[in-house]
Structure 1
């Protein structure tokens, strides 16, 4: 069997020590669209994402990508008990929780465990959890993610649970749009995700897409940035966590529409395609930003 839950669940995926600099933070923010609007190059608020110096802040989603930020090979899938092909895989969901504002440079060690394998019939869902700590042992952030593996379900395993996040039955407190640039995925892949699905047209067709698609984590960062700017005054330190399910694809050149609702100590949000033939198609669902 390509996936053996008895081997996979609970497997220690090891630890990885990594470092980052202000330049990495700047590149990440540019990769998720910061500074893209007219006037952002002279706006103090916008430059908090894109100019190194004392005012630079770090969006919490940076913690998801920084462990592999300097990787130049496609992401490995050598997970214990999981014999799967990269072309079968799409990102399922992602969350990050931060203990406090992330530093603009530093060193950390991420320890990761494979926690669950779900059988969805025609697909499998594989979950990982990781904790990043400073050299002194202080917890900096936690991540939890799932990948959706097409064609690898059906062994009669646990189907898993769902955690749907309902949006309020009222007008959103924020509606914002972001125009994904034609080169967005090519820029974002420099943040450590060289999966050819996002750059190689032939590979994308093999995987069942008409063209390369935007990285799910790029959409994730775009949505978090838009919510932070639109509802939190651009204050990254106000964000304690962000969770979302990847509900659909984005092609470079499309527009992402972000809707957000303030609900007590959290923000509930959704993201869809705006305009064109795929208007209204889902991008992110079950979005929850904790404050």
Structure 2
């Protein structure tokens, strides 16, 4: 049965209310490899900006039977977080997720869904917008427009990077990260990983996003979360837990930088077309 685009686009926002505690901020920070006391010790605890990806997270929504999406062929393509106000380490948060656009690339090429989540506090404070590009590889050819896909940020790889940061990942990092809400067995069960074409469980893409977020926060914003404004990436290949992620950074202007991340061990790009905006 074909995907139902009208039902998909006409769905009510998915509203998630979350009672976020300091323990949750610490667990998230440990899941992306932080050992900085600012982010893992309750005394003066700060929240990493990239916790936006887990706040108000509605789970794997693509199994909704009313949508008829071929959910086994869904891939996370791109991720953007726009920060309007720094997150407190604890609080009441509300995430409202909606599908805002469907792009039809054709029957053989699949479709693209734009998914946006607005994160607010229980007092109405608008903290962040989380925007994801999702590839629906089995759902193209539904008669929609092929136009409107986001244009990835160009990284100036023709010149040497201005900064390079290496961040190791622990062999158990996926086991820890999943406790922040993404329980996909692909990241812990060897049988599921092998069925998906991987030799072993892989790291969550959004965990890689968080590790690289730490690198950018340290190199460009002096580890001050209040200076971060935006972080965009395209997911290229998965990271295997235990690998070291090298992030090359090109400063483009005051408060704006491009970046690209690779697995040192396999010499493959894992995040591309990166864009980071911060208060200089």
Provide the residue aligned with 1:192 in structure 2.
181
Deviates more, 1:192-201 or 1:172-181: 172-181
Alignment deviations for residues 27-69 of structure 1 (CA, whole Å, 9 cap, x no partner): 111100111xxxxxxxxxx211211122x2212110110224x
Deviates more, 1:198-207 or 1:185-194: 198-207
Provide the residue aligned with 1:43 in structure 2.
none
Give the SS at the match of 2:92: strand
1:119 lines up with 2:104 in the alignment: yes
- Structure 1 6/118 Cα, relative in aligned 2: closer, same or farther at 3 Å? same
Matches within 5 A, 1:72-87: 75-79=60-64, 82-87=67-72
- Structure 1 123/282 Cα, relative in aligned 2: closer, same or farther at 3 Å? farther
- Structure 1 186/87 Cα, relative in aligned 2: closer, same or farther at 3 Å? farther
Give the SS at the match of 1:67: coil
Report the CA distance between 1:118 and its aligned residue.
2.0
Provide the residue aligned with 1:38 in structure 2.
none
Given the two structures, how large is their TM-score scaled by the length of structure 1?
0.86
- Asked whether the 8 Å contact 2:28–2:177 carries over to 1, the reply is yes
Give the SS at the match of 1:9: helix
Given the two structures, how large is their TM-score scaled by the length of structure 2?
0.90
Separation in 1, partners of 2:70, 2:227: 39
Q: Which runs of 5+ in 2 are unaligned?
A: none
- Structure 1 118/79 Cα, relative in aligned 2: closer, same or farther at 3 Å? farther
Give the SS at the match of 1:258: strand
Provide the residue aligned with 1:284 in structure 2.
271
Matches within 5 A, 1:132-211: 132-159=119-146, 160-168=148-156, 169-211=158-200
Provide the residue aligned with 2:264 in structure 1.
274
Provide the residue aligned with 2:85 in structure 1.
100
- Asked whether the 8 Å contact 1:12–1:114 carries over to 2, the reply is no
Separation in 2, partners of 1:211, 1:117: 33
Report the CA distance between 1:285 and its aligned residue.
1.3
Separation in 1, partners of 2:187, 2:172: 10
1:222 lines up with 2:204 in the alignment: no
Provide the residue aligned with 2:30 in structure 1.
30
Q: Which runs of 5+ in 1 are unaligned?
A: 36-45
1:49 lines up with 2:39 in the alignment: yes
Separation in 2, partners of 1:111, 1:63: 12
**How big is the alpha-carbon RMSD for the aligned residues of Structure 1 and Structure 2?**
2.0
- Structure 1 76/129 Cα, relative in aligned 2: closer, same or farther at 3 Å? closer
Given candidates 244, 248, 254, the residue that maps to 1:259 is 248
Separation in 1, partners of 2:269, 2:12: 34
Separation in 2, partners of 1:132, 1:249: 27
Alignment deviations for residues 217-266 of structure 1 (CA, whole Å, 9 cap, x no partner): 00000111111112221111110111111111111222211111222221
